[in-house]
Amino acid sequence: MTNAPLPSRDRLTELFLEFTRIASPFKHERQMADAVIKRLEAVGVRVHEDDTGARTGGDTGNLSCTVMGEGEPHIALGAHLDTVVPTDRIEPFLDEDAVFRNRQRTILGADDKAAVAALVHATELLKSSGRFFPSYELLFTVSEEIGLVGSKHLGEKVLASPFAAVFDSAGPVGGITVKAPSHETFKATFRGRAAHAGVEPEKGRSAIQAAAKAIAAMQLGRLDEETSANIGVIHGGVGTNIVPDLCEIEGECRSHDEEKLARVAAAMMDAMQAGATQAGVDLDIALVHEYRAFALTGRSPVVRLSKAALTDLGLEPRMQASGGGSDANILNARGLPTVNLTAGMSQVHSPDEHVSLDDLERLCGLMLRMILMAPDYVPRARAAAAGADD
């Protein structure tokens, strides 16, 4: 077995409670970033912050660093600093079953602060151990929750490692996400003509009616095993006695298959055009390709490393596909093979979000093993990048 340092449950508890007490919704990660920088600099790691915040209207940039050990960086490990917006205070505590929860009815922030705490502690352990360890990179992104904004603005040459792992998937430690979909989002604005709904409704053109016709014509929900579509937001109208002249809808579609995604997106656009035409209103649509799908095989060196590290930890690896995106989508699209590993968190983005101390300990142990075992998988990764291996 790998001679990895043993994580401290007390230290993991201290770090996790410290980080989750900090509110860090997307575009407001400053305090969280400062806490991470402070912890890493305390063990001699110099942290770089880029200009993503200034470029995107946030207050914080992505953080990156090389933890110097032996040789060039062998692997990059990542997590994100932001959370969805909490609706109440975050008062984390460890309950009698050794599970972290929030006393208030809002998110805990384990997504993704479980990973942040584990990465910081793994680095503390390696830097203080006095033992050999291979060099590695850390990446902490911002505004991940609103479309992977931080990773999209990450410099092309920031990471030098041959492969990477992010820890941003829900579920017990042991899951390896090797496949995730492409994602399209859109915002459609229907522009009609206002009129008094009781006195002269025939002079109006209802934007809401147009949007309703469009939505009714769409296929939504789970379309097949790898494709989905959704309308998530509707805004329109100002009063019951006014034919509404404006209605906005926001939606998305996802698929692991690019051709299917293109067909579904086109069908949704056609439905909106038809709805606008039938109601006699104008239509503006802004369609955004958020990120591209990725699929790694069992032959991928970073997948093999993940499986070996989990096995060494005494866990059964679980290969899985995801219906959501992560920074792994962006990094894979740039040619950096990246897995997304489960971080132990459950019921994320909800008031019932939680993570156990056992899983937090396992997560840190997994990170340590991946760092220490990475050199064994680098030659094959270099060969694959050069086209000599798949």
Write out the catalytic residue numbers.
82, 144
Both structure tokens of 151: 């990773």
How far out from the chain centre does Cα 212 lie? 31
CA atoms within 13 A on the CB side of 195: 13
Q: Measured between alpha carbons, how far is 280 from 142 in angstroms, rounded to an integer?
A: 42
User: Sign of the C-alpha dihedral, residues 262, 268, 272, 275?
Assistant: positive
- Run of H or E residues at 276: helix 258-279
Cis-peptide into 112, omega within 30 deg: yes
The partner residues of 134 in beta bridges, in order of sequence, read: 70
Q: What are phi and psi of 141, to 5 degrees?
A: -95, 165
Helices (H), 100-242: 110-129, 149-152, 207-216
Q: Which letter does DSSP use for residue 246 in this model? A: E
